């Protein structure tokens, strides 16, 4: 017998209500994580989707305050800092891995050596260049790791020596690249150590199951030092990259948090109490591959950037309050004025393209623009594709691939132009600028500029005065987005998602970090 439409709606709503009620009673938090994670190895990953999972499986020396993002004790119960700001001494609390072994200072030393080892090829190795001799070890200039500024004085005392005072070092100690990892599990299982049944973690949750392209399930870790604080029994991550599907799932009560709302649904979503828009310390941009023509030509890159109307892009395409910009460092960093960036100027863009040998786009080779599956990326790339055609007379083909393929092609420079996004790891301009130094693991453009490298190095260690430091970073950004333009900034992100009203302990912040150990579901 065929259901009548009204009856079908009632049945669906009834099922959704029952599912939501059961989830709340059982304290099961369901998240749409948008993509299949690349890995669960803290030393390998670089993406936000991975961070959401890993930050709950592992815990670093510090954690992050829910509201103001300041560092709070994690594995380290306390710490002291020398008067010159170079030596940090962390006292570890009594804590255990999920297999019952104690978490020791030696686990941190091993993890940091692993990331800095050049054979590892960790893209985030620069996060440990703040250590004395950290960069020299990574670059092979020294081979004795005992010369690097990290030592286990005993099982529960970790001493860290920096190459120069770093105001945000404690913020870094909560970042996943600096998490401890279990040496014995890695040596026993190799790359498979992150799989269910083999992975050993020290955070508030442990991995129960991982079914690729379906779901990844965490459960409360009873051995965590702060387990009594954890209210959630289970957390389920769904890797659905179709935002229209994820939006429907949320409305049906099948998930509790969706970090992204389809652009096509924003106008309707604004009227729902679950919808939120908050500031986000992140930049949306395009990468250029400088190892291949025509994007190896600075004039071409500038022309492509100046032919994009960012105001129209954010007003009519993204539509959630994103801030159009030609700069890479988001506005609002204390003490940092930023730069102007390349603006929308079709006449100047055409002139540059003609100087590069392509008057009115004639003879310009067909380009490919790479993006990973996501509605936002699709509509943004389509809009820019049309602008380039209308304003410059050039054809750019869009290439859509899934997340892991996208990451691999970017890493190997197997692209011409690629969409990208960068979320700050801490609140300082450096987190947006130091990634572009020559050979940086997250550079992935083939770009190199000695003056830029020198400015970043000076800002890191050689400049004491805060204003002078910010001026050096500003000069570096001028090279990055105006003079050389290996990237094309488009807009500053905003967080736009859906959150169930049953969720407690979730606080908006510019890094969009929400530790699950503090979250609960209202019964």
Per-residue pLDDT tens digits for 365-422: 999 999 999 999 999 999 999 999 999 999 999 999 999 999 999 999 999 999 999 9
Predicted local confidence at residue 423, as pLDDT: 94
pLDDT above 60 for 132: yes
Q: Across the chain, what does the average pLDDT equal? A: 93
Residue with tokens 């572009």: 436
- Which fold is adopted by the domain 280-496? Dipeptide-binding Protein; domain 3 (3.10.105)
Are 217 and 235 contacting, i.e. CB atoms less than 8 angstroms apart? yes
| Cβ-count burial 225-239 (b if 16+ within 10 Å, e if not) | bbeeebbbebbbbbb
Q: Can you say whether the dihedral through the CA atoms of 337, 338, 339, 345 is positive or negative?
A: negative
| Separation CA 144–CA 175 (nearest Å) | 25
Between CA 259 and CA 486 the distance in angstroms is: 29
**Spatial distance between the Cα atoms of 2 and 28, rounded to a whole number of angstroms:** 34
Q: What is the pTM of this model?
A: 0.86
Q: Where in the chain is the domain with CATH 3.10.105.10?
A: 280-496
The predicted model gives 494-510 an average pLDDT of 94
The arrangement of secondary structure in 58-192, i.e. its CATH architecture, is Alpha-Beta Complex (3.90)
Q: What is the three-class DSSP state of 456?
A: helix
What pLDDT digit, counting tens, does each position of 185-198 carry?
999 999 999 999 99
**Intervals of CATH 3.90.76.10 along the chain:** 58-192
Give the CA distances from residue 380 to residues 223, 370, 479, in Å, rounded to whole numbers and listed in that order: 45, 12, 25
C-alpha distances in Å from residue 157, one per residue of 58, 75, 88, 93, 265: 19, 11, 10, 9, 52
Q: How confident is the model at residue 25 (pLDDT cuts 50, 70, 90)?
A: low
């Amino acid at each position: 017998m065929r259901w009548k439409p009204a009856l079908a709606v009632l049945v669906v709503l009834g099922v959704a209500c029952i599912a939501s009620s059961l989830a709340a009673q059982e304290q099961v938090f369901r998240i749409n994580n948008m993509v299949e994670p690349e890995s669960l190895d803290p030393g390998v990953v670089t993406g936000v989707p991975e961070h959401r999972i890993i930050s709950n499986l592992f815990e670093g020396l510090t954690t992050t305050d829910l509201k103001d993002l300041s560092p709070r004790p994690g594995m380290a119960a306390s710490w002291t800092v020398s008067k010159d700001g170079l030596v940090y001494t962390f006292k570890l609390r009594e804590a255990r891995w999920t297999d019952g072994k104690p978490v020791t200072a030696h686990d941190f030393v091993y993890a940091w050596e692993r990331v800095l080892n050049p054979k590892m090829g960790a893209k985030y190795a620069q996060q440990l260049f703040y250590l004395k001799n950290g960069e020299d070890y990574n670059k092979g200039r020294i081979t004795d790791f005992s010369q690097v500024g990290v030592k286990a004085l005993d099982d529960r005392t970790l001493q860290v020596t920096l190459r120069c005072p770093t105001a945000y070092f404690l913020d870094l100690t909560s970042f996943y690249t600096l998490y401890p990892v279990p040496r014995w599990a890695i040596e026993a299982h190799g790359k498979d150590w992150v799989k269910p049944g083999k992975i050993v973690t020290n955070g508030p949750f442990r991995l129960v199951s991982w079914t690729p392209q379906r779901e990844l399930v965490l459960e409360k870790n009873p051995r965590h030092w702060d387990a009594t604080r954890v209210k959630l029994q289970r957390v389920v991550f769904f890797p659905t990259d179709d935002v229209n599907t994820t939006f429907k799932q949320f409305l049906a009560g099948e998930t509790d948090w969706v970090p992204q709302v389809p652009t096509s649904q924003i106008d309707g979503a604004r009227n729902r109490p679950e919808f939120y828009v908050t500031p986000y310390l992140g930049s949306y941009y395009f990468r250029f591959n400088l190892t291949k023509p025509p994007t190896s030509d600075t004039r071409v890159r500038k022309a492509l950037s100046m032919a994009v109307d960012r105001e129209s892009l954010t007003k009519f395409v993204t539509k959630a309050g994103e801030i159009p910009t030609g700069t890479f460092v988001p506005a609002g960093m204390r003490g940092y004025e930023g730069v102007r960036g390349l603006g929308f100027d079709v006449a100047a863009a055409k002139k540059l393209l003609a100087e590069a040998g392509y008057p009115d786009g004639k003879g310009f080779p067909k380009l490919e623009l790479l993006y990973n599956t996501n509605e936002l990326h699709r509509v943004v790339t389509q809009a820019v594709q049309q602008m380039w055609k209308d304003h410059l007379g050039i054809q750019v083909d869009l290439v859509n691939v899934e997340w892991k393929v996208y990451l691999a092609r970017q890493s190997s420079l197997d692209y011409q132009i690629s969409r990208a996004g960068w979320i700050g790891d801490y609140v300082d301009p450096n987190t947006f600028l130091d990634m572009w130094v020559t050979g940086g693991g997250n550079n992935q453009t083939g770009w190199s500029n000695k003056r830029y490298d020198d400015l970043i190095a000076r800002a890191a260690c050689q400049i004491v005065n805060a204003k002078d430091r910010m001026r050096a970073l500003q000069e570096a950004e001028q090279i990055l987005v105006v003079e050389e333009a290996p990237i094309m900034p488009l807009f500053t992100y905003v967080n736009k998602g859906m959150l169930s009203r049953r969720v407690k302990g979730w606080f908006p912040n510019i890094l969009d970090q929400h530790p699950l150990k503090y979250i609960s579901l209202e019964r």
